[in-house]
Amino acid sequence: MEINGRTRTCGLIGNPVEHTLSPVIHNTLAQRFGHNLVYVPFPVETGRIEEAVVGASALQLLGLNVTVPYKGEVISCLREVDSLAASIGAVNTLVAVPGGFKGYNTDMEGLYRAMMSEGIQIVDEEIILLGAGGASRAVAYLCAVKGAKRVYLLNRTLEKAQKVAEEVNRAVERQVILPMALTDFDSLPDRKFLTIQGTSVGLAPHVEDVVIDDEKFYAKVHTGFDLIYSPWETRFMRLVKKRGGRAYNGLKMLLYQGIIAYELWNRVTVSEADAATVYEKLKAHFI
């Protein structure tokens, strides 16, 4: 494409951002739609997120994605916050509005679309969720609002799991999230579960790390979904497969959260054919 005086800019703010694959998603979509748009990563130093948001608005950026560690901190810098993002307590997408930006969370719907594309159901399922950090909190909320029967929230620190469970259960007005200590997994019902790995454990370069190392746990998993996409196959995924389960990584979550952001910025609908094209470009970085 030709960059000229009418080229619009979108980007990613976070720290670090050097590893990001988001430019692959957005620049490929811009090319397919014929949009005069470029997407670039912007590293933001600790303590300077407000300056970054104000500066992006002054420069008339069309929109931004937000990654760690700023998904919560950025909220106070925004003109408006979508109700879903406010409920989750995390924003990952900023859309330009008069005087600043409106914040959205596309991670949750991105995960849902990723899971649906693999034939993974949430409604009426009993689910194990590993971790109680920011990502897992959003996943817990997703499972609750999409009709999960029960979510066993396992975390190293029980108190943190209890806090997330209390917040989500209050928000959805039913007791669906059940907090447990990781070490108590033996007390789970004797059946197989959809299991979502919501921590950063196993992320490259620490590819042999895993939240639960006991193979007895993986006998309880019929389908494992790891939010991590680098490495392509985490140890969590290998352990699930070893005990006969299906396992998926988080690359499609990355894909769909980006697609939803692109749709918000440009007021378009991305077809599944275009989504498949972008996904193949993302996969090429791993396979």
Single out the residue of 145, 24, 50, 4 nearest to residue 88, CA to CA.
Answer: 145
What is the residue whose two structure tokens read 């790995």? 197
Amino acid present at 39: Y
In terms of Cβ atoms closer than 10 Å to its own Cβ (0-12, 13-18, 19+), residue 246 is middle
Rounded distance, CA 70 to CA 135, Å? 13
| DSSP-derived secondary structure for 118-187 | TT---TT-EEEEE--SHHHHHHHHHHHHTT-SEEEEEESSHHHHHHHHHHHHHHHTS--EEEEEGGGGGG
> Exactly one of 71, 102, 220, 252 is catalytic; which is it?
71
∠ Cα 219 186 224 (to 5°): 35
∠ Cα 223 135 30 (to 5°): 90
Contact status, residue 278 vs residue 259, Cβ threshold 8 Å: yes
Any residues with CB less than 8 A from the CB of 272 and at least 6 apart, and which? Answer: none
- Cis omega (within 30 of 0) for bond into 231: yes
Q: Is 71 a catalytic residue?
A: yes
Output the furthest CA–CA distance in the chain (Å, rounded). Answer: 63
Ramachandran region of residue 236, left (φ > 0), alpha (ψ -120 to 50) or beta? alpha
Contact status, residue 168 vs residue 195, Cβ threshold 8 Å: no
Known catalytic residues? 71
